Amino acid sequence: MTPTFLIIPGLRDHVENHWQTLLAAELPQACIVPPLEQDKLSCAARLDAIDDALAAIQGPVVIVAHSAGCMMVAHWAARSAARGTPRAIQAALLVAPADLETPMPAGYPTVDVLDSHGWLPVPRAPLPFPSIVAASSNDPLAQLERTRSFASDWGSQLVALGPMGHVNPASGHGHWPQARELVQQALALSAATA
């Protein structure tokens, strides 16, 4: 059965020329977690939006997350496990996880604001599905060693991308063919662990 690809953007939500948006248009079955209309910084509201998107999907799911979307996946997995309501996920591709525990550049929420909205601490438990963390060596939102630590704690395979910034349109990554290759690697990882 062909999986549905659930695209989970970061805090900036839907960006028309973002590689995630373009990838969703290319994949045979894909849906994007819709942007929030209110409580945009609420971690709980973001997790509810993931639950709502998953409830509308029949069959296997592959998650493709970017930036704070990766942290949403970690929070979602932890919350699902705590509630005893895990949803089977075939695999996940987590690209350029934003390190929400460390101060980010101007224009992004502060650590205190993120903490007050339920984002901290970032869950470090192993994810209950195969996953790949794709990390840039010069991401302004996460030091490579911190990303390596997240990947290790989550039980994810780390793919070092080299210097690619935050892997977003601002760093020149609108159409990004490597995303499709990484999705295939995540599917292969899933098949190998089945």
Answer for the pair 78, 125: CB distance below 8 angstroms, yes or no.
Answer: yes
* CA 6 – CA 30 distance, rounded (Å): 6
Q: What is the DSSP string of 100-137?
A: TTS---TTS--HHHHHHTT--SPP-SPPSS-EEEEEET
Strand, coil or helix: 70: helix
What is the per-residue pLDDT for 194?
65
What is the per-residue pLDDT for 13?
65
Domains of the chain, start order: 4-193 (3.40.50.1820)
Tokens of 148: 């390596």
What is the per-residue pLDDT for 148?
98
What is the per-residue pLDDT for 126?
97
Tokens of 89: 């996920």
DSSP designation for 34: P
What is the per-residue pLDDT for 7?
96
Mean pLDDT, consecutive 10-residue stretches, the chain (194 aa), reads 92 83 92 87 96 94 96 97 86 97 93 97 96 97 97 98 94 91 92 76
